[in-house]
Amino acid sequence: MSTDTSTGLSTRAKVYLRNRDILTSHGNIALRKAAVEIIEYALQAANPYTAVRRLVQLDGHLLSVGDLVFDLKRYERVFVMGAGKASLPIAQALEDILGDRISDGLFVLKHGSRADLNRTKVIYAAHPVPDENGHKGAQAMMEMAEGFAKNDLVFVGISGGSSALLPLPVEGVSLADKQKVNQVLLHCGADITEINAVRKHLSRIKGGWLAKAILPATLVNLTVSDVVGDPLDYITGPTVPDTSTFDDARGVLDRYELWEAFPESAADYLRSGGEAQETPKDFGDAPVYTFLIVDSTAACLGAAERAAELGYKPMILTTMLKGEAREAGTFFAAIANEIVRFGRPMSAPCAIVAGGENTVTIPGEYGRGGPNQELALSACLDLVGLENVVLVAIDTDGTDGPTDLAGGIVDGSTLPAAQAKEIDVFRALHDHDASRVLQELGDAIITGHTGTNVNDLRLLLVG
């Protein structure tokens, strides 16, 4: 075990995969054990608590945030607020650093999180489809923000999931309509950038509106990125200027032919674009500071580092993989075959690491699954005969799609094992029903809430 001397925090990987014994009980056991260890180190490398403790340092009345120094004697009050699937560790770190210097705080967290905070109120809400609790939380956050003054210092911790956890629809659009909007967007095949362009233009808190309420207080954003390419306005939507427009939002509905599927109130509001007020595009010289504390690169680098320590040559293929999950699975299987047969793009033993976010387009009826589960199940079709290959695909927040599974692990034995149990993998892929198959085979990964959320992570391990 090693220790980060700047924080005194242990850097040893914790156990994230709750069912690791099942996952490593069959197939290529040695490779599976190595893959599990690499994934757990990757998740630890993307831990927001550790990142905040490294970034934010208190020395007497001087508070350092990166290269900035805030003299707390100049501020009357300090507030903390935030939302998202990885925002709880931010709140915990801020409380540990600032203690009773915090005047008040509010975080909106996903149901199932367990917060132990002393100075900060918590509201639990639903994700990915918003609920009334989230609506109350968003209203409470805006009301708190509107009470801030010029001599206040405000920390806002935002991560993926905040859009669903802070539903505050524009006037004329009900919460039920907003829930319908989310459901349609989640199933149409749009990526998170496209989805958020629509969400922001139907919201009174996203797209920079929360920041407008916070100002003229000093605003410090601590951000965990779950968006490919790390565009800040899509990650920290409520508290940075918005670069998307009503035209962008309408373009998403045109591209995926969603106008008829949208509630009439939401569709009419987007059509009215020019008449409705655009989201804030610029805060001028207002005291707004944004720090990207953790992103997909952190997880990929963590995976690569641990793979090297275990004797596998690492390659970070990309941190920006997008597209249909099933096609991505075929792609990873093709790389595995290329390595085994021809030693390209590198020879074994090696580890190919990739971040990003894949999607699943769901027409009509569908089963239970998520992009990472579908990616893994798709890949297993072309891994047959490869004895020394394992592929892991997970959502780093621990919930892949609308399931309680994080993803899946497959190898050359997966398809034969399914056939021996008379499981039709092709039918499962057609029906987007990967969860059932992976669970029956003991290849579904269970983590629970990981405390981070930096897109998806894939690991191809070739021994």
**Could you state, in order of their start, the residue ranges of all structural domains in the chain?**
13-46+296-462, 48-168+203-244+279-294
How far is 259 from 250, CA to CA, in rounded Å?
9
> DSSP string covering 393-436, please?
EEETTS--SSSS--EEEEETTHHHHHHHTT--HHHHHHTT-HHH
**Whether 426 contacts 22, CB under 8 Å:** no
Identify the helix (H) or strand (E) that includes residue 195: helix 192-200
- The class of domain 48-168+203-244+279-294 in CATH terms is alpha beta
User: Are the CB atoms for 146 and 216 separated by under 8 Å?
Assistant: no
Mention every residue, 6+ apart, whose C-beta is less than 8 A from residue 214: 145, 148, 154, 156, 239
What does DSSP assign to residue 216? T
C-alpha to C-alpha distance for 305 and 270, rounded to whole angstroms: 46
Burial 34-62 (b: 16+ CB within 10 A, else e): bbbbbbbbbbbbbbbbbbbbeebeeeeee
The answer to whether residues 463 and 405 touch, using CB atoms and an 8 Å cutoff, is no
Question: What residues does 3 pair with on adjacent strands?
Answer: 10
How high is the pLDDT of residue 7?
Answer: 38
Contact 139, 376 (CB under 8 A): no
Would you state the pLDDT for residue 112? 86
DSSP symbols for 308-332:
HHTT-EEEEEEEEE-SBHHHHHHHH
Provide the 3-class DSSP secondary structure of residue 46: coil
Spatial distance between the Cα atoms of 385 and 64, rounded to a whole number of angstroms: 55
Q: DSSP class of residue 359?
A: B
CA distance linking residue 116 with residue 438, whole number of Å: 34
- The SS3 of residue 283 is coil
Architecture per CATH, domain 13-46+296-462, reads as 3-Layer(aba) Sandwich (3.40)
Of 316, 338, 441, 336, give the one whose Cα is nearest residue 389. 336
| Partners of 409 in beta bridges | 392
Tokens of 129: 């489809």
Each of the 463 residues of the chain gets a pLDDT tens digit; together they read: 344 433 333 344 578 999 999 999 999 999 999 999 999 999 999 999 999 999 999 999 999 999 999 999 999 999 999 999 999 999 999 999 999 999 999 999 999 888 899 999 999 999 888 999 999 999 999 999 999 999 999 999 999 889 889 999 999 999 999 999 988 998 898 888 899 899 999 999 999 999 999 999 999 999 999 877 766 655 557 999 999 999 999 999 999 999 999 999 999 999 987 677 899 998 999 999 999 999 999 999 999 999 999 999 999 999 999 999 999 999 999 999 999 999 999 999 999 999 999 999 887 778 999 999 999 999 999 999 999 999 999 999 999 998 999 999 999 999 999 999 999 999 999 999 999 999 999 999 999 999 999 999 999 999 9
Helix or strand or coil: residue 156? strand
Residue 317 has a pLDDT of 98
pLDDT of 196: 87
* pLDDT value of position 235: 58
Residue 8 pLDDT: 37
Say how far apart CA 348 and CA 278 lie, in whole Å: 53
pLDDT of residue 5: 36
Name residues whose C-beta falls within 8 Å of residue 67's C-beta, 6 or more positions apart in sequence.
Answer: none
